[in-house]
Amino acid sequence: MKTVLAIITAGLIGFGALAFAAKEAPAPANDKCPVSGKAVNAEKTISVGVCCGSCAKKFAKDVKANLAKVDLDNKDGDTVNKACPFSGKINKKTVVVAFCCGNCQGKYKAK
């Protein structure tokens, strides 16, 4: 009986660890602030919506240039934009962009 309880307990602990790991925030696509060029602060981020994985990769290749293509038009949403900056399609994926400070981050908040 003790063995069964030990196995069940270990399984629940393992499942809880997996559930916690799955909720981690995605890593930023950049390591330098697109405004200042300084190292980023992982807590100062925005999420940019894109339509697919290809657009996400394209965005991540040149974050600074691609931020200029983003319409900051989604004030209350999960992302700062309503549509993919490349295709104009509905957002299905997000790219996390990090900044060095709140001042730089504030330049890319939806209005």
Q: Is the pTM of this model over 0.85?
A: no
- DSSP code, position 47: E
CA–CA separation, 94 vs 28, rounded Å? 10
Average pLDDT over residues 11-21: 57
Dihedral pair phi/psi, residue 41, rounded to 5°? -105, 115
Quote the tokens at residue 63: 């974050």
Give 49-76 pLDDT, tens digit per residue.
999 999 999 999 999 999 999 999 999 8
Give the other-Cβ count within 10 Å of 36's Cβ. Answer: 13
Residue with tokens 């040149």: 62
In the predicted model, is pLDDT for residue 105 greater than 80? yes
The two tokens of residue 98 are: 């990090």
Say how far apart CA 10 and CA 8 lie, in whole Å.
Answer: 5
The amino acid at residue 54 is S
**Token pair of 23, please?**
């909720």
Residue spans of the domains in the chain: they are: 26-106
Q: How confident is the model at residue 109 (pLDDT cuts 50, 70, 90)?
A: confident
Answer whether 28's CB lies under 8 Å from 56's CB: no
